[in-house]
């Protein structure tokens, strides 16, 4: 739940940088978001009154593999990496509790061998 709310916060707070981008989150975050959306009145209040951007955040489900084919792999990776510095600036570095919920962070940590400190030190990427 915490990571889902962090996701929504980031999209709301950094609308100019993140709105409309594909942010690869795990199924559990998506399922919590679906539940929130079903509580229509409460979700609208959350988006328009409680989150910093004060706009309704629309939901769109798409598998990462499908998304990679649309804009291309390089752009998909750039978009996936763009939000990591924003997350760390707002909430601090990723910890072991957050790791399972963020696809690209887990990939960087487990497959690429980056420490959580190295991931937190990533510089913001300029849009492609």
This prediction's pTM: 0.83
pLDDT at 69: 55
- Segment 76-97 shows an average pLDDT of 89
Is residue 5 pLDDT above 80, yes or no? yes
Q: What is the mean pLDDT of the chain?
A: 86
Q: Residue 63: pLDDT band by 50, 70, 90 thresholds? A: low
Give the percent of the chain with pLDDT over 90.
Answer: 63
- DSSP string covering the chain, please? -HHHHHHHHHHHHTHHHHTT----B-HHHHHHHHHHHHSHHHHHHIIIIISTT-S--------HHHHHHTT-HHHHHHHHHHTHHHHHHHH-S--TTTGGGBHHHHIIIIIS---HHHHHTPPPPPP-
Bridge partners (DSSP) listed for residue 25: 102
pLDDT at 70: 59
For 43, 93, 108, the CA distances from 69, given in Å and listed in that order, are: 31, 30, 21
What are the domain boundaries of the chain?
2-58+66-120
């Amino acid at each position: 739940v915490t990571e889902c709310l962090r996701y929504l916060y980031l999209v709301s707070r950094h609308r100019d940088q993140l709105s409309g981008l594909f942010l690869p989150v795990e199924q559990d975050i998506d399922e919590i978001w679906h539940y929130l959306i079903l509580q229509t009145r409460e979700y609208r209040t959350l988006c328009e009154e409680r989150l910093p951007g004060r706009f309704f955040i629309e939901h769109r489900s798409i598998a990462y593999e499908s998304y990679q084919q649309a804009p291309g792999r390089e752009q998909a990776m750039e978009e996936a990496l763009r939000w990591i510095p924003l997350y760390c600036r707002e909430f601090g570095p990723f910890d072991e509790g957050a790791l399972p919920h963020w696809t690209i962070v887990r990939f960087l940590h487990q497959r690429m061998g980056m420490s959580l400190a190295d991931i937190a030190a990533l510089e913001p990427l300029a849009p492609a």
